[in-house]
């Protein structure tokens, strides 16, 4: 049976991964850096390959903080986050499979333990979905049916 929450998270991860790959610089620069513009209070977010990702002017709100935040959320970090969350989803699926296998066996106490783990892991996935994609138009349906 399809799991709306898992499908929702997988779809959002695919979107995030595609967006991260689209931001990579052709010289394989996946990490972004913040540097000060010479003779200015502004900042430049650039790649390892020397491409400019963004310029933050001296009149922008907290240019140093904005530049540091953008640089810290580069494509490499986004791709790493996607890999980690896909690993969490895979672990959850393995746990679901173990629970279903135990349901068909006489190991009652082991099933209760595994079911408790499924419930806890599903709550963690709901929390991740809320934090990451709570504003997405499909979020409500995924939580309601997942």
> Rounded to an integer, what distance in angstroms lies between the CA atom of residue 136 and that of residue 12?
9
**Spatial separation of the C-alpha atoms in residues 93 and 91, rounded to whole Å:** 5
Compute CA distances 117 → 52, 96, 98, whole Å. Answer: 46, 9, 11
pLDDT mean across residues, the chain: 84
- Of the pLDDT bands very low, low, confident and very high (cuts 50, 70, 90), residue 13 is very high
- Residue 53, pLDDT score: 79
- Residues 23-37: what's their mean pLDDT? 69
Nearest-CA neighbor of 12 among 137, 145, 146, 144?
A: 137
For CA atoms 134, 33, 55, 53, give the dihedral sign: negative
User: Is the pLDDT confidence value at 78 over 80?
Assistant: yes
Any alpha helices (H) in the chain, and if so which ranges? 4-22, 63-72, 75-103, 108-133, 139-145
Rounded Cα gap, residues 56 and 80, in angstroms: 26
Contacts of 119 (CB under 8 A, 6+ apart): none
Among 27, 131, 44, CA closest to 81 = 131
- pTM, two decimal places: 0.80
pLDDT in tens, 86-101: 999 999 999 998 888 8
Report how far residue 138's alpha carbon sits from residue 70's, in angstroms, rounded to the nearest whole number: 26
In angstroms, rounded to a whole number, what is the distance separating the alpha carbons of residues 115 and 28? 44
- The fraction of the chain above a pLDDT of 90, given in percent, is 39
């Amino acid at each position: 049976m399809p799991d709306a929450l898992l499908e929702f998270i997988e779809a959002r991860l695919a979107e995030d991964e595609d967006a991260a790959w689209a931001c990579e610089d052709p010289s394989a620069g996946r990490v972004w850096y913040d540097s000060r513009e010479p003779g200015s209070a502004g900042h430049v977010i650039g790649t390892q390959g020397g491409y400019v990702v963004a310029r933050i002017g001296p009149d922008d709100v907290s240019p140093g903080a904005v530049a540091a935040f953008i640089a810290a959320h580069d494509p490499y970090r986004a791709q790493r986050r996607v890999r980690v969350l896909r690993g969490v989803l895979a672990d959850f699926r393995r746990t679901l499979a173990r629970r279903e296998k135990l349901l068909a066996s006489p190991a009652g106490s082991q099933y209760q333990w595994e079911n408790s783990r499924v419930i806890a892991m599903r709550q963690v996935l709901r929390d991740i979905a809320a934090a990451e994609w709570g504003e997405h138009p499909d979020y409500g349906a995924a939580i309601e049916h997942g």
